[in-house]
Amino acid sequence: MITKERIEEIAGKYPICQYDFLKTKDLVFSEQVRYICKTECPRYGKSWSCPPATGTVAQCKERCLKFEHVFVFTTVAEVEDIANMDHTLPTRQAHEEVMRSICQEISKEAQEVLGLSTDSCDFCKRCTYPDAPCRHPEIMKPCIESYGILVTDAAEKAQIDFFCDSQTVTWFSMIFFR
């Protein structure tokens, strides 16, 4: 079984901005988050990392509650203006690399790990969904919102700044472990 101290040791090797450990029972799973995915996100129904492929909110919650604790963390990137998506979105890749590496390291020592990350998976040029299985299930991290998790609430409970200023992009991930 991996300890929080060991995860801190692993995470300390990466450019993490803020982190904390939350009890999974304190996370808020909301049908409203799922409704926003469905009605406002262009990636809904286009990726294995998004609903409906991730299952119902109840199924996602059940998957998460198998774990007692979740490691939540952010990385940040500086941009001229976060409203400029052409500059903001490419900074996500560096966060995803950090997320994948930490997940991989924790997986080697934990009994089980579930990683949820930022936004829809864009690892392949074209997602196989829904015609064929995910090409890289070991790499693919579902989007946090795809599980119905209220990220702003989790950030507040973890005392993590979800928004810093108009020149700082904050990327947020969660790693459930046991």
Q: How many residues bind ligand SF4 (CB under 6 A)?
A: 14
Q: Between residues 23 and 135, which has the closer beta carbon with respect to ligand SF4?
A: 135
Q: Which residue has the tokens 């949820």?
A: 116
Q: Between residues 108 and 126, which has the closer beta carbon with respect to ligand SF4?
A: 126
Report, in Å, the least distance between residue 143 CB and ligand SF4.
Answer: 10
What's the burial of 149, exposed, middle or buried (CB within 10 Å: 0-12/13-18/19+)?
buried
Looking only at residues 111 through 150 of this chain, which bind ligand SF4 when binding is defined by CB under 6 A?
121, 123-124, 127-129, 134-136, 139-140
Binding residue (CB under 6 A) for ligand SF4 from 24, 27, 34, 49 = 49
Report, in Å, the least distance between residue 154 CB and ligand SF4.
Answer: 23
Q: Report the alpha-carbon distance of residue 13 to residue 112 in Å, rounded.
A: 21
**Terminal C-alpha separation, the chain:** 6
CB 16 within 8 A of CB 73: yes
Q: Between residues 2 and 50, which has the closer beta carbon with respect to ligand SF4?
A: 50
Q: Between residues 65 and 89, which has the closer beta carbon with respect to ligand SF4?
A: 89
What's the burial of 40, exposed, middle or buried (CB within 10 Å: 0-12/13-18/19+)?
exposed
By CB under 6 A, residue 45 contacts ligand SF4: no
Report, in Å, the least distance between residue 38 CB and ligand SF4.
Answer: 18
Question: Which of these, 87, 50, 108, 105, lies nearest to 167 by C-alpha position?
Answer: 87
Q: Report the alpha-carbon distance of residue 56 to residue 141 in Å, rounded.
A: 17
Chain centroid offset of residue 167 CA: 22
Report, in Å, the least distance between residue 41 CB and ligand SF4.
Answer: 15
For binding to ligand SF4 (CB under 6 A), which residues are involved?
47-49, 121, 123-124, 127-129, 134-136, 139-140
